[in-house]
Amino acid sequence: MKKILFFTAIFLPFMASPVPAQTGPASKISSGSGFQSLEKRAFAGNAKGQTDLGTAYYNGHGVTQDYKQAILWYQKAASQGYPVAQFYLGNAYLHGIGLQQSDERAAFWYQKSANQGFAEAQYNLALAYYNGRGVAQNYDQAAFWYQRAANQGSAPAQFYLGDMYRNGAGLPEDDQQAIFWYQKAADQGFAEAQYHLGLAYRDGTAVKKNEQQAVFWYQKAANQGHPAAELNLGVSYLKGKGVTKDKEKAAFWLEKAADQGDSNAQDLLQMMNK
């Protein structure tokens, strides 16, 4: 991969957390007739009902939490080709919840779900290919699946697709395409994209250099607790770049970054306090 020019990419772990997103009635199940109705649909072979029942067991909604029962029902629905269940089953394998951990089986089920157009699975599959986790590392395949998920509006996929354009990994190096996808993700509130868009405006990378716009996007990311954005916002206030110089606001944001372990922010605060 080509050398990164104006930032160091931070590749997040797989998007899916150990707790799958809840869908349909599973998030509202309470003990009694609601759960019984769901159970009836699941036993009748309804794939969505099976998935929702699995999620009820996973989260302990209307029933005692039981990961093994959750996996049982996810497997039944996944075997019927239901993409949400396939994605959840991939998550379970990835994190080793209710069954033995396996990156290969996680990637297998993400592939099944991704092939049916499920954006979250497409994103996780892209990460698998990028990192060589459960599959052979393949930047071309990573870019392919990021693109699929990004086209469906997945903000993390949009950011990482931009990242691959910026670095020429799996795609031709193209700063304009990178900024295009950063903007898409930033507009959805994805902090990493907001920060990198700020850097692009600071440096004039594929956009007209604009310190005010840089600060605007640093602020967006900093408001979400992004430490590098907090640092850059603090420096902007300290130097009066893109904003009116304000030592108090500079200290405020530098302290935020320092509290998260940013050594540059810590050093600047020490210099300011001398």
pLDDT of residue 6: 26
Q: Could you tell me the sign of the dihedral formed by the alpha carbons of 162, 164, 166, 172, in that order? A: negative
Domains parsed from the chain with CATH numbers:
39-100 (no CATH), 117-184 (1.25.40.10), 189-273 (1.25.40.10)
- Read off the pLDDT band of 126 (50, 70, 90): very high
- Read off the pLDDT band of 22 (50, 70, 90): very low
Task: Kindly report the number of other CB atoms within 10 A of residue 70's CB atom.
Answer: 26
| Mean pLDDT, rounded, for 113-140 | 98
* Tens-place pLDDT, residues 68-98: 999 999 999 999 999 999 999 999 999 999 9
DSSP string, 130-186: HHTSSS---HHHHHHHHHHHHHTT-HHHHHHHHHHHHHTSSS---HHHHHHHHHHHH
Residue scoring higher pLDDT (229 or 13): 229
Residue 246 has pLDDT above 80, yes or no: yes
| Mean pLDDT, rounded, for 147-167 | 97
Tokens (6 digits) for 181: 């996808």
CA gyration radius for the chain?
A: 22
| Mean pLDDT, rounded, for 180-198 | 98
- Rounded to whole angstroms, the Cα distance separating 25 from 14 reads 26
- Read off the pLDDT band of 34 (50, 70, 90): confident
- 3-class SS at 33? helix
Average pLDDT, the chain: 90
Is there a contact between 139 and 169 (Cβ–Cβ < 8 Å)?
Answer: yes
Percent of all residues in the chain with a pLDDT value above 90, rounded to a whole number: 86
Residue 8 has pLDDT above 60, yes or no: no
Phi, psi angles (nearest 5°) of residue 19: -95, 115
**How much is the pTM?**
0.86
Residue 1 has pLDDT above 90, yes or no: no
Residue 13 has pLDDT above 80, yes or no: no
The C-alpha angle with vertex 188 and arms to 182 and 190, in degrees rounded to 5, equals 65
